[in-house]
Amino acid sequence: MTARDFDRTLDALPDDTRTAWLFEGPAARRAAEARARAEGRELRVRSAYKTLLHDVLEDGLLAHAARAVIHYPVVEGCPEDRFRLECYPLHALVSHCEIEFRPRAHAGDGLPRYLVETEARRTEVEVPVRWRDLDDGARALGACGWIEDGQGGRALPTEYEAIFEAVCAHLRAMPLDPLSADEPEGPFFDRLEVAVELPYEDQVLPVGAEVVSLAEAMHEEIYFTALEIFQQRLGLAAGQRSVKAGQVVPLVRRGARPRLEIRSTAARPELDRDQPGRPALDAATQWLYPAQIAAHLAALGGDAYAATSRQGRPVEGRHVAGSGPARLAISAGQHANESSPMVGALRAGRDLAAQGEVSFTLNPLENPDGYALFRELCADNPRHMHHAARYTASGADLSHGAGRHESAIRDLAHARLPAEVHVNLHGYPSHEWTRPLTGYIPRGFGQWTIPKGFFLILRHDPAHEDLARTVLRAGLEALEGFPELAAQNRRMLDLYRRYVGAESFEVHAGCIPFTVSATSEALYPVTLITEAADETVGGEDFRIAQEGQYRVVRAVAGMLRRAGTA
């Protein structure tokens, strides 16, 4: 076990500090400035995270402007729109001002700078960043602390960066001894808890589900950097989802002072928080407990099949035979922090079973170990994305499980019903996803950094293109015909387009994004993947997400039934 306290940089600034950029929330920064004034000193404490956004809001740079041009820096070696993305969601926060973004090359001397131009003034905003060498040999321009005093400007080590670097050092040095001789490629630990306490408050923004959270950003940095370190140590390619180091659990909470504790523990499924019953599904506004999912699944009838997760939890499915030739595979919960699919899948399964014509398999919770972690993390931070619950307890994506443990559930479903079409229900972040210390844009997930509404992904064997296009059309039309979702998508797309220059997707009816690729998947010729912006929402946003999931499954099943597909 590793445990260490860290000094808070805000409390130990040199007396001659004029301006400091720190990882702190607005209230703590203003309090530090007030203390300095009381001591007869002038001090400005600015945010090292999303600097332009904070400066605009805190200094009123656009308070009386009807129009503004923000020239954002373009730094060689970074994605062109990286510093434009850092301004999100500024348009929605200063809706009285029409903002235009223009790129300008960073000359390489000093810190990158924004230039904010209005009718009344021109303001330059410096962004404290430094290059970091990553474990796979790449480099990233990450946020950092910075200080200006009588000697000029320089990088200032902060507790936020020090905690992250201490975690990385531990992960690089820890032994990788397999838990089992028959799995020499891992896992090497059952549950590695990285407990971090940070004295920062979240900033909830009045824009959708947006929140500025240094705690959430730390969770993202720890979890995905851990995967990257283990990929490199095991000789795997960057982004390879088959890495099986074990379950990495960042527990990032608010505390009185910065603290880090790393400990290896055993999973305790018997301590799961669960709740029995069969709550109504149609207007559900929050995620379900596993016992509730199991009860709704059992009510479908049909034939049960099951696997067991790595940590010993049941992974259940049902095969319901219909009277017609149409066949459909339905799955949810592959990535367990995406919680609207479970409700939508069960609703659709209930209706299809009652109708009795379409044969289908339903796996409503494919990754119960991840789902247990999701519920645990939600108890502390119910609005966060919780990507540590994304993959299985082995550390790998369920689709890379080689038929072991929970990944066997798909093989069991296919053995009972080799359907032509698989509807695989998913979600993605409902608010901005960042990794500020390693390049800001999440590595390998750049297209998901800002929500753009309910999204469809079609993958198909080239020999089944006609069926695939018909499946896609059914899903698109179902979403287009859902007024609340279509309106939500338009709002998200409008904001998305202000920060992302080039779109990597098509848009149906002006509001439903989608992509198509001719790619053969392992089991099914045609796979339609849903992506609801549901990490992590509740209330009406959750209802819209699960309703969208439900409508897509029902629409595809209805199309197959009418077509008489066998």
Asked whether the beta carbons of 359 and 329 are under 8 A apart, the reply is no
- At 522 the pLDDT is 74
Read off the pLDDT of each residue in 126-133 and give the average, rounded to a whole number: 97
Handedness of CA 20, 25, 28, 31 (dihedral sign): positive
Residue 520 pLDDT > 90, yes or no?
no
Asked whether the beta carbons of 250 and 223 are under 8 A apart, the reply is yes
Residue 251 included in any domain = no
Residue 487 included in any domain = yes
Q: What is the mean pLDDT of the chain?
A: 96
Percent over 90 (pLDDT), the chain: 94
- At 283 the pLDDT is 96
Residue 138 included in any domain = yes
User: Range of 444's domain?
Assistant: 285-563
For residue 160 the two structure tokens come to 């936020």
Residue that finishes a domain, picked among 159, 192, 213: 159
Q: Print burial letters for 117-153: b (CB count within 10 Å at least 16), e (below 16).
A: bbeeeebebbbbbeebebbeeeebbbbbbbbbbeeeb
Q: Print burial letters for 221-260: b (CB count within 10 Å at least 16), e (below 16).
A: bbbbbbbbbbbbbbebeeebbbbbbbbbbbbbeeeeebbb
Residue 43 included in any domain = yes
Coil, strand, or helix at residue 241?
coil
- Give the pLDDT confidence of 243-292 residue by residue, as tens digits: 999 999 999 999 999 999 999 999 988 888 899 999 999 999 999 999 99
Distance CA 478, CA 459 (A): 18
Tell me the DSSP string of 492-532: HHHHHHTT-SS-SSEEETTTEEEEEE----SS-SEEEEEEE
Residue 449 included in any domain = yes
Q: Is 77 left (phi over 0), alpha (psi -120 to 50) or beta?
A: left
431, 294: one domain: yes
Q: How far is CA 427 from the centre of its chain?
A: 9
Coil, strand, or helix at residue 117?
strand
Nearest partner of 22 among 117, 129, 145, 109, judged by Cα: 145
Asked whether the beta carbons of 208 and 17 are under 8 A apart, the reply is no
Higher-pLDDT residue of 361, 237: 361
- At 270 the pLDDT is 85
- Give the pLDDT confidence of 302-333 residue by residue, as tens digits: 999 999 999 999 999 999 999 999 999 999 99
Residue 244 included in any domain = no
- Give the pLDDT confidence of 459-484 residue by residue, as tens digits: 999 999 999 999 999 999 999 999 99
Residue that finishes a domain, picked among 159, 174, 192: 159
Residue 476 included in any domain = yes
- At 565 the pLDDT is 57
The pLDDT confidence band at residue 540, using thresholds 50, 70 and 90, is very high
Residue 480 is part of a domain; what is its CATH number? 3.40.630.10
Residue 235 pLDDT > 80, yes or no?
yes
- Give the pLDDT confidence of 47-84 residue by residue, as tens digits: 999 999 999 999 999 999 999 999 999 999 999 999 99
**How many domains are contained in the chain?**
2
505: number of Cβ within 10 Å: 14
What is the separation, in whole angstroms, between the first and last Cα of the chain? 57
Read off the pLDDT of each residue in 349-354 and give the average, rounded to a whole number: 98
Residue that finishes a domain, picked among 108, 130, 159: 159
- At 252 the pLDDT is 98
- Give the pLDDT confidence of 10-43 residue by residue, as tens digits: 999 999 999 999 999 999 999 999 999 999 999 9
- The DSSP 8-state label assigned to residue 202 in this structure reads -
Residues paired with residue 6 on neighbouring β-strands, in sequence order = none
Residue 265 included in any domain = no
